[in-house]
């Protein structure tokens, strides 16, 4: 059997009202991704209008791309760096005191390579309290980054990250325990 992309059918995936999705497409380009808008407060207002739940003291740097804000929950004291790609085909929950560094990717969707129709698979991502996602790191569908875990620069998390643990590599593996000094 071979992959038959002409039989791919995504009709069962309903991410939201088509008019809302089109409006978001343009709002995302104008207010969120736009490097001419350095103001997190404006970005947060727009994200909330489109259904994102955003806490206090959140910094969203220029060039961030968010697929569907109505599938995004962000806690307090969160920093989202330049060019972060939040591809939230499913729910992404980012808890308090999280740092997501430049060009990191949070990917909620993948395809079933075992099916000739290459069906879409979506899974939630949860990033718990105090997590640090390094620059250009990737979080794959279904991953839970537990409390105060670290995913180092350019690493790829395909499985859950244990609390207070530093991970590195592709796929990411445990390097050492994270000790936070006062």
pLDDT of 11 higher than 90: no
DSSP designation for 160: P
Say what the pLDDT of residue 166 is. Answer: 98
Say what the pLDDT of residue 86 is. Answer: 98
Say what the pLDDT of residue 84 is. Answer: 98
Per-position DSSP letters for 86-125, written without gaps between them: EE-SS-EEE-SS-EE-TT-EEE-EEE-TTSTT--EEE--E
Scanning the structure block, which residue is given the tokens 């039989």?
7
Q: Are 109 and 91 in contact (CB under 8 A)?
A: no
CATH class of 16-175: mainly beta
Better-scored residue on pLDDT, 9 or 95: 95
pLDDT of 20 higher than 90: yes
Instruction: For the chain, give the mean pLDDT.
Output: 96
Strand partners, 74: 54, 94
Strand partners, 132: 99, 150
| pLDDT above 90: percentage of residues in the chain | 90
Say what the pLDDT of residue 179 is. Answer: 97
Say what the pLDDT of residue 6 is. Answer: 87
Q: Which residues contact 15 (CB under 8 A, 6 or more apart)?
A: 21, 67, 68, 71, 89
In the chain, where the domains are located: 16-175
pLDDT of 139 higher than 90: yes
- pTM (2 decimals)? 0.96
pLDDT of 10 higher than 90: no
Cα atoms in the 13 Å half-sphere on the side-chain side of 160: 9
Say what the pLDDT of residue 5 is. Answer: 86
Q: What is the mean pLDDT of residues 2-7?
A: 87
- How far apart are the C-alpha atoms of 58 and 106, rounded to whole Å? 17
Say what the pLDDT of residue 9 is. Answer: 85
- How far apart are the C-alpha atoms of 182 and 163, rounded to whole Å? 18
Say what the pLDDT of residue 1 is. Answer: 82
């Amino acid at each position: 059997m071979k992959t038959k992309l002409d039989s791919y059918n995504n009709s069962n995936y309903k991410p939201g009202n088509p008019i809302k999705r089109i409006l978001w497409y343009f709002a995302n380009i104008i207010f969120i991704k736009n490097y001419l808008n350095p103001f997190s407060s404006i970005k947060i207002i727009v994200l909330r209008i489109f259904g994102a739940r955003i806490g206090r003291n959140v910094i969203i740097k220029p060039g961030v791309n968010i697929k569907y804000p109505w599938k995004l929950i962000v806690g307090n004291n969160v920093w989202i760096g330049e060019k972060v790609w939040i591809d939230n085909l499913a729910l992404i929950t980012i808890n308090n005191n999280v740092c997501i560094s430049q060009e990191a990717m949070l990917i909620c969707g993948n395809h079933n390579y075992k099916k000739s129709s290459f069906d879409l698979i979506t899974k939630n991502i949860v990033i718990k309290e105090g997590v640090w996602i390094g620059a250009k790191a990737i979080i794959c569908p279904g991953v839970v980054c537990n409390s105060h875990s670290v995913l180092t620069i350019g690493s790829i998390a395909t499985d859950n990250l244990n609390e207070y643990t530093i991970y590195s590599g592709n796929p990411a593996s445990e390097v050492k325990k994270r000790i936070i000094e006062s």
